[in-house]
Chains A and B, each alone.
Chain A
Amino acid sequence: MEGFKTLLYKECLRFWKVGFQTVLSPVLTAVLYLLIFGHVLEDHVQPYPGVSYTAFLVPGLVMMTVLQNAFANSSSSLIQSKITGNIVFVLLPPISYREFYMAYVLAAVLRGTMCGLGVLLVSLPFASFSVAEPLWIVAFTLIGGAFLASLGVIAGIWADKFDQLAAFQNFLIMPLTMLSGVFYSIHSLPDFWQGVSHFNPFFFMIDGFRYGFFGVSDVSPWMSIGVVTVCFIVLAIITLQMLARGYKLRA
């Protein structure tokens, strides 16, 4: 376990040492979204009865930040280590592939959570909202973060250059998060697009997370947690299989 604990510590120290880039910048970006979209749409949109648009927006932005940063942490750490060659320092010691996986995923979830917490705290002066079901918030943060962290491990191992990782991020992660209902309730969409949204696991993460704040959501939180958990388990199995085979890590 000492190897796992050290790898987890190293991964956390790595992002903490560049905290401006890894924690403060995502918080600032999310707060800019909040200020601009909130200002423009506050008086025009009321997604749920009794919930202002800005208040509606906050949980979505928090969760989006958690997800994007969990992905960014594991993927960027791995690809940097692969390209600079220092991945050997993790591959030479007696660290099992399960320990390797857990360390990268937990560190990524931690960064995602810190960023999300930062967005939440900075949002407090701009919107008033309560926390209806805190356990749902914690559950979706952890499982959603772990899902994206696993996806980050896959992307970081699969990509041979930064360009490929950027494509993964910009053509998959970004559209799926943006189209997940961060900025709108899917009930405002035409039926067809509502149906399409149900194939996007990010929608369930955002919707379930938002339920934790308002006690209302587009779909049942039980259904959301079920979908997100199944998606995470499938992704975890795929990632662990890749690591067990040494895919692109051990020749």
Chain B
Amino acid sequence: MSPAIRIAGVTKRFRSLQALAGVDLEVAQGEFFGLLGPNGAGKTTLISTLAGLARADSGTLEVMGHDVVHDYRAARLALGVVPQELVFDPFFSVREMLRIQSGYFGIRNNDAWIDEILHSLDLTSKGDVNMRLLSGGMKRRALVAQALVHRPPVIVLDEPTAGVDVELRHGLWQFIRKLNRDGHTIVLTTHYLEEAESLCGRIAMLKAGRVVALDTTANLLQRFASHNLQVRLAAAVVLPEALAAQVVKCDGVDLELAFERFDDVGQLLAGLKSAGAEIVDMAIGKPDLEQVFVGVMNQN
């Protein structure tokens, strides 16, 4: 079975900027894959080369085994892209736009599926409303609907929840999870790391056009993140050197100390006590993707 996405040795330069500096990546069919990285890391450029919106200087990209250049028709039929920008055509209603988009992909009489998508995205009542009259959240959902009209096996969502309120974000998560359960391969780029952590089974992190980390979410959390002891002190104290080395965050009387095993917590508390610290509040933080992200970016 061919991978849903195969990217091999892809480079792309925009004048003096090396946007992609040799990216190799495979996403298996049915995966929920996260593509993370700071602004300018190359995420959108990579998606653009995959979707045919940009052309790679070298390397190959395939969608469901179809080369995006030589076999572009099959590759594009297999791919649905939700662009990052909130773009729309102000001349058309939601339904007109979805019918037109279906036609672009060679599908006529697609109304039954369009109705289903509109229902799933809670847009049924907006079918005949002009795109420019929709709220930002509705436009975002309409963009998702547009990417789905041709039932693509691979769906790429480029920051679909950027600037979206919490309720809508959760609604979109649910919808995207359902798509994945139904067998669609999902590739998600996002700046909300908790979103990637809760949704993605595997994650690639990009920095300066290179993949700097690629593993399952669980492995990344295990390798790069540690638990934190979060304490609030009655007053700031000077910590001994050994204890200070474990401090990952210090904000006046609020401290965060990293530890590997739960057995180490007693030692940390004892160290704080002997340094004269009076603890007024305490919590234990789980390892999270933000730590992983910061760790990976700093390492590279």
Residues of A within 8 A of B (CB): 2-3, 5-7, 9-10, 13-14, 17-18, 81, 84-86, 88-96, 246, 250-251
Contact = CB atoms under 8 A, between A and B. Distances in A.
Interface string B207-221: 000000000000000
Given A2-B103, A2-B108, A94-B106, A89 B54 contact: no
B103 A94 contact: no
Contacts, number: 81
B55 A93 contact: no
8 contacts: A2-B103, A3-B105, A6-B103, A89-B87, A93-B101, A94-B76, A94-B105, A251-B54
Nearest to A18: B91
Contact of A89 (B55, B74, B79, B104): B104
A2 B103 CA distance: 6
Contacts of A18: 91
A93 B87 contact: no
Given A2-B107, A250-B54, A92 B87 contact: no
B255 to A, nearest CB: 46
Interface stretch (B45-53, B164-172, B179-187): B45-53
Contact of A251 (B55, B83, B85, B108): B55
A18 B81 CA distance: 29
Contacts of A7: 103-104
A180 B77 CA distance: 47
Contact of B103 (A9, A14, A92, A250): A9
Interface in B8-25: 14
B130 to A, nearest CB: 10
Contacts of B259: none
B91 A17 contact: yes
Contacts of A13: 91-92, 96
B88 interface: yes
A81 B14 CA distance: 23
A89 B52 CA distance: 12
Interface of B: 14, 48, 51-55, 72-74, 76-77, 79, 81, 83, 85, 87-92, 96-97, 100-108, 146, 150
A250 B50 CA distance: 12
A44 B96 CA distance: 54
B54 A94 contact: no
A85 B101 CA distance: 15
Given A85-B85, A85-B87, A90 B52 contact: no
B122 to A, nearest CB: 22
B72 A94 contact: yes
Contacts of A96: 73
A6 B101 CA distance: 8
Given A94-B73, A251-B55, A88 B103 contact: no
Contacts of A88: 53, 81, 83, 87
A2 B107 CA distance: 7
A3 B104 contact: yes
Contacts of A90: 104
Contact of B88 (A10, A86, A95): A86
Contact of A84 (B52, B77, B90): B90
Contacts of A93: 76, 101, 104-105, 150
Contacts of B74: 94
Given A2-B106, A94-B77, A94-B106, A14 B91 contact: yes
A89 B89 contact: yes
Nearest to B130: A17
Given A6-B103, A6-B104, A93-B76, A251 B48 contact: yes
A3 B106 CA distance: 5
A73 B106 CA distance: 24
Contacts of B55: 246, 250-251
A95 B100 CA distance: 13
Residue among B53, B83, B102, B150 with max Cβ neighbours from chain A (10 Å): B53
